[in-house]
Chain A
Amino acid sequence: MEFAPILVYSVISLLLSLISIGVSSLFASSFGSAYPEKLPAHECGSDPFDDARSRPDIRLHPVSISSIIFDSEVTSLFPWAVPPNKIGLSGFWSMMVSPSISTIGSVHEWKKGASDWE
């Protein structure tokens, strides 16, 4: 039931953002009749010289993959962090296994240079 205000809040914020976009278009001058110089892509004043397509950078993928991995790590650490006094030492150590294995994984990633960004 605590989620009902959040739902109302998100609807209101959606409306508010739509209003603030809409109001500016009401008062804009010369709407729809811009100079052609205003339309091309902004590349420091000159025309774009090469193809707009470029090879995707592979270095972006290790970043996103490792953030997915560590997100799931954090997800599994949340329920562990809440009742630490109820699970005792065996709970503590069995939970320490999983971060240490992901530490090994990140050591591998680090030594491989997957997180280098020269």
Chain B
Amino acid sequence: MFEHDFPALFPEIFLINATIILLIYGVVFSTSKKYDYPPLVRNAGWLGLLSVPITTPLVAVGSPLAVANLVYNDSVIDNSTYFCQIFLLLSTASTTVMCLDYFKQESSNAFESIVLISPPTRSMLFMISAYDSIATYSAIELQSLRFYVIAAPKRDSEFSTEAGSKYSPSGAFPPGILLFGCSMIYGFTGATNSEELAKILTGYEITLFGAQSSGIFMGILFVAVGFLSKITAVPSHMWAPDVYEGSPTVVTASLPIAPKISILANMLRVFISSFYDPTWQQPFFFRSIASMILGALAAMAQNKVKRLLAYSSIGHVGHPSIGFSCGTIEGIQSLLIGIFIHVLMTVNASAIVLALRQNRFKYVADLGALARTNPILAITPPITTFPYAGIPPLAGFCSKFYLFFAALGCGAYLLALIGVVTSVISCFYYIRFVKIMYSDTPKTWILYKPMDREKSLLPAITVFFLTFFFPYPSPSFLVTHQMALGPCL
């Protein structure tokens, strides 16, 4: 019965209540004449940040490390959702930490932009544990709505407005495709629940020629396209660079982190446990190749930092898709490791970009002589970006190596080859960072203000992880193996 689900839904219930309290607190005090209309962004930011360490133990306590179906089989809790949710909460916490100083510098008084972090976190928690296509869709819509709002907070900036107006239609289109796919599948099977779909679609052999059910084939194809477009895989990546560049840097920083984790976790649930079939792997295969090639080649031509981050994140979408294209336990495990390390690297890169942005840090060339003005910060981008490129003794190398290893293990030699070649190409622009920082002497030296303490913790922690991942990788391998077993079994 529904009443018994409450203990397992504690994290979500807590987040909803925390959001409500924070919203009311913020709106009452920010409009109060008695306190002289205080700007509550930083205050609300700390309170919002506080709700994350409370939710994380609730997730940990609420899930008994066993499989449980909740809310009339609409959501499920098992090992994979449990670890994904904790990881998602940690990444949300890092996003909030990035926001703390940002709004003060921007002198933005909209505390709602902080309050708007919790509702999508809650819907991403739902999305990770969603076990029904309707639950999936509603969770995706709820989390994207927030990003449409916060992509356009600066009314006086044309770029921000353009980014917001570009993001809302192009972000709303993929869920529409996904919804059409879900309705096709529902129309041809009569089931929306993942478990029932898994039972119906077992051994269905939906090949393109010799199709047994073209309706189900079209449904799965649309679902795959919707999901892949939502994580900006290549043919539908067009909006991403403009949105990443135009929207405020905190939004750029949070876009590739938390939504990607939750959407990939949901894709695992849908594609590995519901429609386990080799046919949907073809779109993943092609889009993985296309993303890697375009990400590597287009990022070479970028001069602006945020566009470079966007193309780099597009290129990195190709790597989880390799794991999907394999469909083996090793493939999924390597995918999860890939996400884990990619998110750590993105948190690091975003924190650095945010820390440097105070003096209009817009172009890559503005990094000039950073090695002399700020030597310790200048060490960090090489440690972050070399793993992006996959240079040996660092974490990114480990994740890429394991991905290509899984691709080779399942016979996807072409994927592994293209992955390696694009990694080599992408070394070019990652090494260009180092060249600019260490050997260029620009005409105008840009002196950056020091980072605030909260934000400086993020690069420190992530650099520590990325450097010392390789000597002791077994915990993360064990955890991801456990997670990979969740949807596979």
Contacts and interface: CB of A to CB of B under 8 A. Distances in A.
Interface of A: 90, 94, 101, 104, 107-108, 111-113
B20 A104 contact: yes
Contacts of A94: 2
A112 B31 contact: yes
B23 interface: yes
A90 B20 contact: no
Contact of B31 (A90, A104, A113): A113
A111 B2 contact: no
Nearest to B16: A101
B2 A112 contact: no
Given A90-B2, A90-B3, A94-B2, A111 B20 contact: no
Contacts of A101: 16, 20
B2 A107 contact: no
Contacts of B24: 104, 107-108
Nearest to A108: B27
Interface in B1-39: 2-3, 16, 20, 23-24, 27-28, 31
In the A-B complex, the 5 residue pairs with the closest CB atoms: A111-B27, A108-B27, A104-B20, A111-B31, A108-B23
Nearest to A109: B27
A104 B2 contact: no
Contacts of B3: 90
A45 to B, nearest CB: 40
B311 to A, nearest CB: 36
Q: What size tier do the contact residues of chain B reach? A: under 10
A108 B20 CA distance: 10
Nearest to A101: B20
14 contacts: A90-B2, A94-B2, A101-B16, A104-B20, A104-B23, A104-B24, A107-B24, A107-B27, A108-B23, A108-B24, A108-B27, A111-B28, A112-B27, A113-B31
A112 to B, nearest CB: 6
Nearest to A91: B2
A104 B31 CA distance: 16
Looking at chain A's contact residues, is the secondary structure mostly helix, strand, loop, or mixed?
helix
A109 B20 CA distance: 13
A113 B31 CA distance: 9
Contacts of B28: 111
A107 B23 CA distance: 10
A49 B395 CA distance: 71
B266 to A, nearest CB: 24
A113 B23 CA distance: 15
A101 B2 CA distance: 20
B155 to A, nearest CB: 11
A111 to B, nearest CB: 4
Contacts of A107: 24, 27
Interface in B21-65: 23-24, 27-28, 31
Contacts of A108: 23-24, 27
Given A94-B2, A111-B28, A112-B27, 12 more contacts: A90-B2, A101-B16, A104-B20, A104-B24, A107-B24, A107-B27, A108-B23, A108-B24, A111-B27, A111-B31, A112-B31, A113-B31
Q: Of A90, A94, A111, A113, which is in contact with the most chain B CB atoms at under 10 Å from its CB?
A: A111
A42 to B, nearest CB: 36
A90 B2 CA distance: 9
A75 to B, nearest CB: 16
A112 B16 CA distance: 21
B200 to A, nearest CB: 29
B365 to A, nearest CB: 41
Contacts of A111: 27-28, 31
A62 to B, nearest CB: 14
Contacts of A112: 27, 31
Interface in B156-197: none
Contacts of A113: 31
A90 B4 CA distance: 12
Contacts of B2: 90, 94
A104 B27 CA distance: 11
A2 B61 CA distance: 55
B375 to A, nearest CB: 47
Interface string B389-430: 000000000000000000000000000000000000000000
A94 B28 CA distance: 27
A101 B3 CA distance: 20
Contacts of B27: 107-108, 111-112
Nearest to A110: B27
A113 B20 CA distance: 18
A22 to B, nearest CB: 44
Nearest to B21: A104
A11 B360 CA distance: 64
A107 B27 CA distance: 9
A112 B23 CA distance: 11
Nearest to B23: A108
Contacts of B20: 101, 104
A101 B23 CA distance: 11
A61 to B, nearest CB: 14
Contacts of B16: 101
A59 to B, nearest CB: 16
A112 B24 CA distance: 11
B474 to A, nearest CB: 44
Nearest to A113: B31
